[in-house]
Amino acid sequence: MNKKSLIWTLASLMVLASMILAACGGGATQAPAATQPPAATEPPAATEPPAATEAPATEAPAATEAPAANVPFAVMAGGELEKALTGAYKGTTVTVDGAFEGNDPDGVKFDESVKAFEEATGIDVNYIGNKEFEATISARVDAGDPPDIVDFPQPGKAGQFVTGGNIVPVSEYLSDEWLTQQYNQSWRDMVTFDGVEMGVFHRFNGKSLVWYPKKAWDAAGYEIPQTWEELMALNQQIADDGDTPWCIGIESGAATGWAATDWTEEMMLRTTSLENYDAWVAGDLKFDSPEVKKAIETWSDLWFNDAFVYGGRSSIVTTAFGDSPTPMFDDPPKCWMHKQGNFITGFFPKGTEADVDYGFFYFPPVDEQYGKPFLVAGDSMYMFNDRPEVRALMEYFTVPESVSGWLEGGGALAAQQTATPEMYGVPLERGIAELVAQATSFRFDGSDLMPGEVGSGSFWEHITSYVAGSEDLDTAMKAIDASWPQK
């Protein structure tokens, strides 16, 4: 049933309920007000109005309308955020830890995104992230000093703390109806562990994108490749012109290697079935399997050709991922293509403009039988300390306004399905969101869903050793398999 039909159906049910009540002379059992319809799947009870402190099953529009305080974001009825808007928690502080620093582009955008929450509630949000987050968060939790909320870029890492009982399930403070309203079910599935929903998705980026210097590209007359064969032919064409096709770098501090895992995931989606991809993520398909090795060998044909990579294979491990696309903007370009998620625009040179200085295209499929898959990844929030002001901020993270810094400035997309096109200040981001929606299939970043000791541990380590040439493929794959925790 579409939304409009649902509204008329509910309205009809309320009128019918009112007539029945009137006939029975029941003045104390009035139907809900017209602006607060009951659950879509059942009519309102004739003798029991919805509880004042709990939102009905699909309480629209009450569940999405801001209260009288006239704040610029939606609020769940009966939640701690609604109470926070009265000033109940003014003067308190909530700490958030994550993988970027406060003066990074992402740190600045985070501060911009929580400003509306801070102004409306009087709660101070203190972001304490750092680039060594992956290595320090376990030490903090083990020492009994966890931050209030953790922004995990890898759900697999969060799973370790779920197992340890350190994270509070979202069902204890957010209603199923509210979460269903805010998210596509796939995002909720990604933060569910052993059947329990533990966190909320905040923002994401589509990874299956190739960036290029638009002015120089158009002047050179290069065409957008639609298949892997066309892409490899374009590589050779650019090389024959005396230039280097690709800008590639995977250095990222303690997280070095994650960019190579992305290429592996892209190729798994393009050279084998979704079932095999899922089995691989779950640990049921070994890294040392023919399917996984074929995927890696496919991208190796490009990476290990020194004529195709700026600086050659030997430079890939030592070139920072954020710096790697910079030569693409030289005049003339020193490299012509860079595959990365849409967040990478935040690392492009200042003053560059989308559709003027750079464009993007879909990372081409390899085998047509697997369609046009799209790889996505994103950040999810988890509550470690259960206090009212922390619950309020967790609820705020479920609305798209909590991603406003990225939506307005570019660099990420809102995971919340209530985001509207008008929220995107960068037309490019709207185009990427539409491209993601047009994919024939999609999967979340596989390494982010693997156990932390693999997805953000041995996978990073040994794929880096493989790229550096210190391990061959068989040795690297066997080492990753050996690190997988026993089920």
Mean pLDDT score, 164-180? 97
Residue type at 62? Answer: A
Cβ 250 vs Cβ 260: under 8 Å? yes
What pLDDT does residue 186 have?
Answer: 74
Is pLDDT at 103 greater than 80 in this prediction?
Answer: yes
Phi and psi at residue 111, to the nearest 5°: -60, -40
Q: Which of 76, 100, 146, 116 is nearest to 379 (CA)?
A: 100
Residues sharing a CB contact under 8 Å with residue 219, sequence separation 6 or more, in sequence order:
none
Q: Are residues 303 and 292 in the same domain?
A: yes
- The label of the residue with tokens 């805010």 reads 182
Q: Are residues 238 and 294 in the same domain?
A: yes
Mean pLDDT score, 175-181? 97
Mean pLDDT score, 329-353? 94
Mean pLDDT score, 181-197? 86
SS (H, E, C) the chain: CCHHHHHHHHHHHHHHHHHHHHHHCCCCCCCCCCCCCCCCCCCCCCCCCCCCCCCCCCCCCCCCCCCCCCCCCCCCCCCHHHHHCCCCCCCCEEEEECCCCCCCHHHHHHHHHHHHHHHHHCCEEEECCCCCHHHHHHHHHHCCCCCCEEEECCHHHHHHHHHCCCCCCHHHCCCHHHHHHHCCHHHHHHCEECCEECEEEEEEEECCEEEECHHHHHHHCCCCCCCHHHHHHHHHHHHHCCCCCECCCCECHHHCCHHHHHHHHHHHHHHCCHHHHHHHHHCCCCCCCHHHHHHHHHHHHHHCCCCCECCCHHHHCCCECCCCCHHHHCCCCCCCEEECCHHHHHHCCCCCCECCCEEEEECCCCCHHHCCEEEEEEEEEEECCCCHHHHHHHHHCCCHHHHHHHHHHCCCEECCCCCCHHHCCCHHHHHHHHHHHCCCEEEECHHHHCCHHHHHHHHHHHHHHHHHCCCCHHHHHHHHHHHCCCC
Q: Which of 199, 133, 107 is nearest to 411 (CA)?
A: 107
What pLDDT does residue 38 have?
Answer: 30
Residue 354 lies in a domain: yes
What pLDDT does residue 31 have?
Answer: 32
Instruction: CATH number of the domain at 327, please.
Output: 3.40.190.10
Cβ 249 vs Cβ 457: under 8 Å? no
Burial degree of 312 (CB within 10 A; 0-12, 13-18, 19+): middle
Is pLDDT at 451 greater than 80 in this prediction?
Answer: yes
Q: Are residues 282 and 225 in the same domain?
A: yes
Q: What is the pTM of this model?
A: 0.65
Q: Are residues 318 and 392 in the same domain?
A: no
What pLDDT does residue 190 have?
Answer: 79
Q: Are residues 242 and 223 in the same domain?
A: yes
In the chain, the percentage of residues whose pLDDT exceeds 70 is 85
Segment among 33-42, 111-120, 280-289 with least mean pLDDT: 33-42
Residue 388 lies in a domain: yes
Cβ 457 vs Cβ 425: under 8 Å? no
Quote the domain boundaries for residue 250: 209-375+445-483
pLDDT band at 119 (very low <50, low <70, confident <90, very high): very high
Residue type at 177? Answer: E
What pLDDT does residue 69 have?
Answer: 56
151: number of Cβ within 10 Å: 23
Q: Are residues 92 and 213 in the same domain?
A: no
Q: What angle do CA 377, 388, 199 make, to 5 degrees?
A: 20
Distance CA 75, CA 27 (A): 30
Is pLDDT at 298 greater than 80 in this prediction?
Answer: yes
Phi and psi at residue 178, to the nearest 5°: -65, -45
In the chain, the percentage of residues whose pLDDT exceeds 90 is 66
Residue 20 lies in a domain: no
Is pLDDT at 275 greater than 70 in this prediction?
Answer: yes
What pLDDT does residue 135 have?
Answer: 83
Distance CA 281, CA 194 (A): 15
Q: Are residues 238 and 365 in the same domain?
A: yes
Q: Are residues 108 and 187 in the same domain?
A: yes
Q: Are residues 336 and 469 in the same domain?
A: yes
Residue 136 lies in a domain: yes
pLDDT band at 437 (very low <50, low <70, confident <90, very high): low
* Mean of per-residue pLDDT scores for the chain: 86
Would you mind telling me the total number of residues written for the chain in this entry?
487
Q: Are residues 349 and 416 in the same domain?
A: no
Residue type at 128? Answer: I
What pLDDT does residue 268 have?
Answer: 98
What pLDDT does residue 352 have?
Answer: 93
Q: Which of 162, 103, 98, 160 is nearest to 132 (CA)?
A: 98
Is pLDDT at 446 greater than 90 in this prediction?
Answer: yes
Most confident segment among 15-24, 40-49, 127-136, 331-340 = 331-340
Residue 435 lies in a domain: no
What pLDDT does residue 144 have?
Answer: 95
What pLDDT does residue 321 have?
Answer: 97
Q: Are residues 216 and 200 in the same domain?
A: no
Mean pLDDT score, 400-417? 91
Q: Which of 209, 172, 321, 159 is nearest to 256 (CA)?
A: 321
Residue 30 lies in a domain: no
314: number of Cβ within 10 Å: 13
Phi and psi at residue 128, to the nearest 5°: -120, 25
Q: Are residues 199 and 222 in the same domain?
A: no
Residue 439 lies in a domain: no
Q: Is the peptide bond between 485 and the residue preceding it cis, with omega within 30 degrees of 0?
A: no
Residues sharing a CB contact under 8 Å with residue 9, sequence separation 6 or more, in sequence order:
1, 40
Residues sharing a CB contact under 8 Å with residue 189, sequence separation 6 or more, in sequence order:
none
Q: What's the pLDDT tens digit per position in 371-392?
A: 998 898 889 999 999 999 999 9
What pLDDT does residue 375 have?
Answer: 93
Domain count, the chain: 2
Is pLDDT at 30 greater than 50 in this prediction?
Answer: no
Mean pLDDT score, 162-166? 95
Residue 370 lies in a domain: yes
Distance CA 60, CA 81 (A): 18
Q: What's the pLDDT tens digit per position in 50-70?
A: 333 333 333 333 344 444 458
